[in-house]
Structures are given as structure tokens and as C-alpha cells.
Amino acid sequence: MFPLACFWFCFDVPSALLPVLFLPASPAWAQVLLLADMYGTIQSPNFPESYPKDNELQWNVTVPSGYTIRLYFMHFDIEPSYLCEYDYVKVYSETEELAAFCGRENTDTERVPADDVILSPGSMLSVAFRSDFSNEERHSGFEAHYSAVDIDECRGKNDEELACDHFCHNYIGGYYCSCRYGYQLHSDNRTCKVECSDSVYTERSGLITSSDFPKPYPKSSDCVYRIEVEEGFLVTLDFEDSFDIEDHPEVPCPYDYIKIEAGARVFGPFCGDRPPDRIQTLSNSVSIRFHSDNSGENLGWKLTYASAGSECPVLLAPPNGHLEPLQSQYLFKEHITVTCDPGYSLSLPIW
């Protein structure tokens, strides 16, 4: 914005000792005034009289975090020049030139502030004034007013992520977030996570979904769903087609994922928009682990589970006896009847 070599001198100024910057590209010394009030007025030197030649002055305005700065000009009369290359007023944010003004009225090559209101993107704003070594006419300079404006962080812009996951509460100088019932505020103070690790399913069949399905699942959550059925039964999982978990085109499931643990067997992780094929866990105890990071708006998943008895050893009818019902395979918890031909009686064991 302004260069490069920096020296400090003290001038006789009633309010403070002001820093002075040496500008190699200019024959003048530029004074830098630091303004930290919540509002104030900025004027060109000698205003409303003619401003001096060969002069550079910069006002650096800083307000507390949670505020921006509103700036508008009440009077403006600066020597006109092509693209404001001689005398000018420039307005900067921390890293960006927001405006450059000169002249008395707008032309193709000159711009005056008129009724424009400039709003800083952050809590800092600089106003720089420069006059060259000659002014053929009298110009009275400028007068501007600035004030701190509370940022409404809860009013999100279209291209920005919302400040809070669920509810945003704005107050002067800041904001805070809160969550819907059943959710907890994450340590980042903006994300809402759900407590979802106490679910135990003991029925032989059932339905399990991600939280809020089919709405987007909560961020920054680690959920564990446990299926515990009677020993001797084996659990099978079937995911529905409505499967949507945040993924990455090159790295397998680095953000959100679902993983199945059944004894020593692990299935997954799974993510993306294609559900896993049927999973035969070969276990009566299954843990479904679902992890989400702090971003994304994916819809989640839904699965049904069922359990069937494990296969029994092959049963053969005893000599002179019969099995009812007669099947090629018997499963855990199924009942059979053994009968003997007339004149014979049953003795155990039968195999």
C-alpha cells in the first residue's frame, strides 16, 4: 500500500506522537495517524481551506473484532486527473484497494465518492491522501465520517458456510451457536453433534439409519450401533439404494465412512453413493461404526438387518428310524421329530 523503508519522527501534534513513513517514490513525508475510536471524522489538511501541495497522509482505522467499518464522504473536492494519477484519496482494507477517488464529479477516468458507502470486509480500514507538487486551481479537499458497525455473523452469504450448524444468536460484537434438542455443541462452538453410541438392537430383525435420515446427517459425530442377537444366530446386513456418504475421488473414504465389525471380521470402510453389497457377518454380535467430519451435507444411509440360525451338523435318520420334517439342512432353533419303525425303540445318542 505504502512502501518500504520506515523511520520514526515526532511532530508537535496535540493528541499524540505520530509515526512517519519515508516514501522513496515521493518527495513528501507521509504521516500515519492511528484511529481506534468507534466513530470519527477524517479531513484533508486545512479543510475546508485548500489542502497543501506535495503532501501524503494516511489514516489507519481499527475497531474491535466482531465489527466492520462504515465510511462515507460528506464533502469531496480533489484535483482531477486521468485515473487519479496526481492527487487522490484511496481506501484500503488490510490487503485490498477498495476505491480510488479524485475530481469533483464522475467521468470516464475519474471517480468521486458521491453517496457511496464503503464497508470494510474486516475490522481494519485505511484512508490514504496524496497531493502532488502543483495545483493550478483551488481545491478544498474532503471530509469523511467513519463508524463501527456490528457484524451480523448469523446472516450467512450465499457463497459462505453458515456460522452455526443449527441456531445462531447474534449480539453486539459477536455471536454464539446452539443446537436442537438431542444434539450437543462440538468443541469448535459451531458444529452440532449427536449422541448416538447407546443404541443396542436385540430383535432378530430391524431397521437402522444414520441420524436425521433422509436429511443430512450431523457433522463431527462418531456413532456406534450394536446388534446383539441370541448366540447361534448369524446377522445379515442389507443397505438400501439411498446411500450417500461424503467421499473423495482419489482417496478411499478420508472424511466420512461406515465400517462394520463382526468378531474379528471387518467390512469397509464404505462411502460415496453406491451401497455395499449384502454383508454376511457370520456373527450374532455386530458393531456398525459411522464417522462424520465437520463439513458436508450428505444424506446418510439406511439398512435392514436379519438374523438366521446357524447351520446344524448333518443329521441322519437312525437305522429303522425316520426324521420329521426331512430336510437336507437344519438350522439352529429348528425342531425335528425322530420316530422308529414298529418293534423298535429310540435310544440316545442318535448320532
Tens-digit pLDDT profile for residues 87-137: 999 999 987 999 999 988 888 777 889 888 999 998 999 999 999 887 778
SS3 state at 84 = helix
CA distance 272 to 274: 6
One-letter amino acid of 75: H
Q: List 1's β-bridge partners, or say none.
A: none
Distances (CA, A) of 329 to 90, 155, 279, 349: 88, 65, 22, 19
Q: State the number of CA atoms in the 13 A half-sphere of 270 facing the CB.
A: 22
Q: CA 16 to CA 151: how far, in whole Å?
A: 30
Q: Is 297 exposed, middle or buried (0-12, 13-18, 19+ CB in 10 A)?
A: exposed
Per residue in 132-166, pLDDT (tens digit) is 887 778 889 999 999 999 988 888 665 567 788 88
Neighbours of 346 (CB within 10 A): 11
Q: How far is CA 30 from the centre of its chain?
A: 42
Amino acid, res. 166: H
Query: 22-30: long-range contacts (C-beta < 8 A, 24 or more apart)?
Result: 23/56, 26/56, 26/130, 27/54, 27/133, 28/54, 28/55, 28/56, 29/56, 30/2, 30/56, 30/57, 30/58
Q: What is the pTM of this model?
A: 0.54
Three-state DSSP class for residue 56: strand
Has residue 305 got a pLDDT over 50?
yes
238-294 per-position pLDDT tens digit: 999 999 999 999 999 999 999 999 999 999 999 999 999 999 999 999 999 999 998
